[in-house]
Structure 1
Amino acid sequence: MKISLVYPPEYNRNCETFSLPNISIASLADYLIKNGYKNTTQHDLDILYFKKIKKIITDEQREKLENKEKAIAYCNDKLTKKEKEEFDFLINIFLKEGKIVKSDVIGITFSDLRTDFFLANISALIAKMAKDKWKTKIVIGYRSIPHKLYIEIMEKYKVFDYAVFSKFGEEPLLKIIEKIKGKNVELINTIEYNNGDIKTHYNLSNQFPICPTPYYQKDILKNYEVEEKRLIKSYYSSPEIVSEIFNGNNKEIIVPYSFINTCSGTCAFCANDPTIPSNCKSVNQVIEEIGKMKESGVTGIYFINSNFNDKYSFAEKLCDEMIKNKFNILWTDCANFRNMDENLLLKMKKAGAIKITFGMETGSNKLLKYIRKAINIEKAEKYLKLSNKLGIFNQIELIGGLPYEDEIDIRSTSDFIERNAKHIDIYSLNPFYLYSSSPFAIRPKLFGLEIIETRTKKPNFYKSPEKIGIISGRFNEKKGLKWEEKDK
């Protein structure tokens, strides 16, 4: 059975100054290959679109691809012959450049779906042609998209056979493929579309978090080479501080990878459940997987862990092994202050850390205690200074609009940034979201909050001005501001 996994183009990907290969199709490919589906290939249309395809097509042709109504009409055979031929021509460019050939199944990741629906359009157009030419079965999916939105998409385009709304798509995709082969299997968190009929298959047992192992194709990695000079200029105002790391000539290949996405922290705002057992890979497995990536040409890792040092002993041992194996791979990750000391920070640097993102949230000790961050600003300052002294690029993440945040707290955060400006290379300010699975939402009385129920009608994802994804719940502070006062 021939399976093609596709990463469609989108205009907004990540917050870095360089592109990263998609870990979703790489992880799905690894899982399917290990389960016997050796003829599984990956097709990254995102990097190809921005490097080549966008330069081939005209602005008028690009506007056609962005037009949701025209794309839906094409998929429903409602275009004129001339219009259909124009779309056929454009879609064949994507198939040719992406080396997408006759396939039994095409799986398309909907990561970073936005309300402009460019990604959905391209996916649907490819799906339509593949179904007409090869009778291909089409599967779409991504963890953060509501299953009701998938139903809307499937009903409008009418070319997607299955949509996976599970948090983890490896096993659900495998079950779909087995069903397509004729096996009697139970689908997992999957929507099935058949000539207008919608059937939703639920299975809550698939909710335990897993840390997938990505398999990056070498031909895709080649497209993600980035010059060292560009990396240096992007992050360092004084390039001489990293002259010993970079030589300014070679090209780097940086890939996303994770070894843990659970978290033992008890932060009140966070959607992570600290009672879930850790899904951290073993040190041996991480070392083995990094070794394989290095053999494929990878020179840098963009860790996407919940945090590098969720468990101190693990982080220390991993650093020791990375140093021992002489990987000489540079990496970046999130880290927490609560499990940080000078010994670990020194080892992280020696193991290849060049950028660390710390979850600071606020510069107010009052709020740090309220949100159960388990740190204080004094400790944060200490390790930001040390990290900076070691030549590590420091980023801190802040949250604006936390419950009970007042002018004094805002000033404390501002003062913290000014006081540590020499040690903070960049900070990001994110709006506070009340996640339904956070301690704030689960035990609001404990935190002096009153949750406001607001859902009164079916959401219209197509008309929403918001980004597709999680929208904050509403709340009142029992001894503070009402929602109307905060939401200004």
Structure 2
Amino acid sequence: MTRFANGKSGDKKREEQLFSPGAKTMKLAFIITSPATLKHDWYRDPLYQKVGVPNLAGFLKRAGFPEITQYDFNNQVLKVYKESPGLVKLISYSDRENVRRFLERGDSALEKQTAFLLDTLGIERQDFFGISINHFLGDEGEIALGINLAQCLAKALKQRFPGCVIALGGLQNMSLPFQREAYSRILEECPAFDYAVCGEAHLAMLYICRALEKKKTFASAAPGNFRTVQVGKSLLINEIKGEARAEVTGHYFEPLPPGETRNKSVPFGLPAYDKANSRAYAYTGEELRKFYHLPAGCAKLLAPADKDTFLLLQASFNEGCPFGCYFCAGANTKFFSLGIKESVRMLKRMKEELGCRHFLFYDPNFNPTPGYAKRFLAEIIKAKLDIRWSDCFNLRSLDREMAAMMREAGVIKIIAGVEYPTRRMLKYINKGLSVETIYRNLEELHKAGIWNHVLLITGLPTETETDVAEMEDWIRATKDMVNSYTVGSFHMALGSPFQKQPEKFGFKLGQPLSLYCQDSYDEQNGPGWEEKSRLNLDSNRRIVQLINALKGTPKYTGARMDDSHLLMYLYRTLGHKNKKLIEKLYEAAFTVNPHAERAREGLRLGLEAPGSALRALLARTGLKMELGPAGRETVEFNLKKGGASLRCALQARSENVLLNPAPGRVHGGHFMLESGASSGPARALSAIKKHLGAVLTAAEAWDQKP
């Protein structure tokens, strides 16, 4: 049963029961869930902490809530998965029927797995738990699994710690209407949640905590700038503003309301990283060298950094964008920045308290204006912080002097949106950049020894074959000064000038889409949505394939920030002056999926051992399996039957291949089984494919052996 309210209702009786009697200081905790064990993220590159929860924790600490614990799946759960993968069964949360049964009356397998996760995280009694699912940002299947996981965690927490309060957030990959719909359904299905926060979370979380602290209802603790929906006994909260009562989407910097600052020693905007959690994300140089299998001949050269600590943290100093790119949801948004001296003090504090000398700045543009950027760089240089860092830079606000200052201030990598670097397209999207300026500034950065990562967007409206060919020419011309790429495919972003004024640009908007805050659209005198979607995929694939061919490997289109540990390590050890050597070592670096090796060995032993489960399966189905050579990340084999042959590979899922169903793909707990090249009679091939699920189960049997 759902009813609407206007910020003044809620189930008072229930809320008054949700307190820890006698507690002097309220104890808060955030559980940061993650799908990392379901994808290749966990072994491809060392992970780093995302800034969302630490940012919120800093906001609440400044408001006077000092006891905040952060439980992180990418810490404790991932450690167990690396050594004993059979104990971590996140894929089990993809079965909605089993989850429904667990929520309604119990499911022994999910109950056991959820209890194991809570125990592994070391969760203790708290007054309040916030469950974040903002790492689940992939396809519909991944997000659904994240929701199911959160619901099971909430029920288990309520059973283990009666009286605790639980809130859910993190569906930022959806526009607000889809968020509201999803949260309402989640609360209906799982009454263990007391709250769900839609859109911007800072103030909603503040007043939830104030309500608990003062033993009030949310409505009596919060001002009227919230829209609330009561779902059963739970409350869905959405911040609103202005006379139009517009819903507030998420943002980074949120000042505390007047009178709410209780601890001024916590600077405004400081991300409050958990010290214990941060220690688990720190690596020595020696560990990174071995993780990336860097050439043994370089060990002596790299040895000076063996004992250095590499902890990477995100930090942000501004938000909003003064530029007017037509495709961008952030175009012409209100710009805010911390004071430069305050920002440098924040960096110094994180260095002293957490031991961090390597940062991933998290700004829309470090250089919204040349003056601001140069003053900031000068202060970093003056403070002698000895940090290495990366950030997004706008190539229109850059010159040779700034490139030199960036090098001296410790910039090792820039991320620059060049989008569609052809004359017609740059003008069409109002980029404010010329092809010549892009080339000149990338060249200046390259000469300064800085790693250039560019963002490309294929499939822009009005794209023609000529446009694609011109982009290909640009890629060839700049391949020696551009180090890596993110090749995205255009979508009609909500709030962008394109989307807000579709008639002006010749679009007819269609249905809103559930993911990535976008609309479908048709082009005037152009293709319809379905055809445009297909063409977008084609042009994207074409550009990616060209880059991979020019670079000789797909690794340069496969990472945006994931390679940051490797680059920080190489730049810290070798310095900007040795960029050519850094490029060679980056090229030589590789990582290995240790589970693939174990799975292949399990299959080999199963094929050889009389009476094994694998041999029994093959005998029962009439299949023959031929193992391919060992690989670093995959297990390849042929399945044969009745004159037909099917090439198969076990491999980890990725950001491009997630949990959504697809032909020729079967999902397991650790791998997906993907079938490819085939030959022989269609009927025999069909018979082989019918048994792929059973083959995958047999191939993953090794995971039961910790």
The alignment's TM-score, normalised by the length of structure 2, stands at 0.61
Structure 1 counterpart of 2:149, from 98, 111, 122 = 122
Give 3-state SS (helix, strand or coil) of 2:100's partner. Answer: helix
In the alignment, is the contact (CA less than 8 A) between 2:196 and 2:237 conserved in 1? no
Distance 1:297 1:65 in 2: 37
Alignment of 1:89-488 (within 5 A): 89-113=112-136, 114=138, 115-116=141-142, 117-134=144-161, 135-142=163-170, 143-145=172-174, 146-167=179-200, 169-181=201-213, 182-183=215-216, 184-186=220-222, 195=232, 201-204=238-241, 206=248, 209-211=251-253, 212-228=269-285, 247-274=305-332, 276-295=333-352, 296-447=354-505, 449-454=506-511, 468-478=515-525, 480-488=526-534
How far does residue 209 in structure 1 lie from its aligned partner after superposition? 4.1
- Deviations 1:246-286 (CA, angstroms, capped at 9, x unpaired): 83542300011111121111000000141x43111110121
Q: Which residue of 2 aligns with 1:25?
A: 53
In the alignment, is the contact (CA less than 8 A) between 1:256 and 1:302 conserved in 2? yes
In the alignment, is the contact (CA less than 8 A) between 1:10 and 1:112 conserved in 2? yes
How far does residue 313 in structure 1 lie from its aligned partner after superposition? 1.3
Higher helix share: 2
> 1:147 corresponds to which letter in structure 2?
R
How has the CA–CA distance of structure 1 residues 409 and 153 changed in structure 2, closer, same or farther, with 3 Å as cutoff? same
Give the greater-gyration-radius structure (CA): 2
Distance 1:483 1:161 in 2: 40
Q: What RMSD in Å do the two structures reach over aligned CA positions?
A: 3.0
> 1:91 corresponds to which letter in structure 2?
T
How has the CA–CA distance of structure 1 residues 378 and 228 changed in structure 2, closer, same or farther, with 3 Å as cutoff? farther
2:63 corresponds to 1:6? no
Greater RCO (Cα-Cα under 8 Å, separation 6 or more): 2
Distance 2:293 2:208 in 1: 43
Distance 2:442 2:322 in 1: 22
Identical pairs, percent? 23
In the alignment, is the contact (CA less than 8 A) between 1:140 and 1:162 conserved in 2? yes
> 2:533 corresponds to which letter in structure 1?
D
In the alignment, is the contact (CA less than 8 A) between 1:404 and 1:481 conserved in 2? no
How has the CA–CA distance of structure 1 residues 356 and 219 changed in structure 2, closer, same or farther, with 3 Å as cutoff? same
How has the CA–CA distance of structure 1 residues 118 and 367 changed in structure 2, closer, same or farther, with 3 Å as cutoff? same
How far does residue 149 in structure 1 lie from its aligned partner after superposition? 1.4
Give 3-state SS (helix, strand or coil) of 1:413's partner. Answer: helix
Structure 2 counterpart of 1:42, from 47, 54, 70 = 70
How has the CA–CA distance of structure 1 residues 335 and 287 changed in structure 2, closer, same or farther, with 3 Å as cutoff? same
How has the CA–CA distance of structure 1 residues 250 and 335 changed in structure 2, closer, same or farther, with 3 Å as cutoff? same
Distance 1:413 1:484 in 2: 24
Distance 1:230 1:407 in 2: 47
- Deviations 1:181-239 (CA, angstroms, capped at 9, x unpaired): 423223765755554666555523555844342111211111112344676897999x9
How far does residue 34 in structure 1 lie from its aligned partner after superposition? 1.3
Give 3-state SS (helix, strand or coil) of 1:58's partner. Answer: helix
How has the CA–CA distance of structure 1 residues 246 and 469 changed in structure 2, closer, same or farther, with 3 Å as cutoff? farther
Give 3-state SS (helix, strand or coil) of 1:262's partner. Answer: strand
In the alignment, is the contact (CA less than 8 A) between 1:13 and 1:112 conserved in 2? no
How far does residue 305 in structure 1 lie from its aligned partner after superposition? 0.7
Give 3-state SS (helix, strand or coil) of 2:415's partner. Answer: strand
Distance 1:73 1:190 in 2: 32
> 1:360 corresponds to which letter in structure 2?
V
- Ranges in structure 1 where 5+ consecutive residues have no aligned partner: 462-467
How far does residue 158 in structure 1 lie from its aligned partner after superposition? 3.0
Give 3-state SS (helix, strand or coil) of 1:261's partner. Answer: strand
Distance 2:58 2:498 in 1: 37
In the alignment, is the contact (CA less than 8 A) between 2:511 and 2:519 conserved in 1? no
- Ranges in structure 2 where 5+ consecutive residues have no aligned partner: 1-25, 243-247, 254-268, 535-706
The alignment's TM-score, normalised by the length of structure 1, stands at 0.87
Distance 1:330 1:484 in 2: 45
How has the CA–CA distance of structure 1 residues 99 and 198 changed in structure 2, closer, same or farther, with 3 Å as cutoff? closer
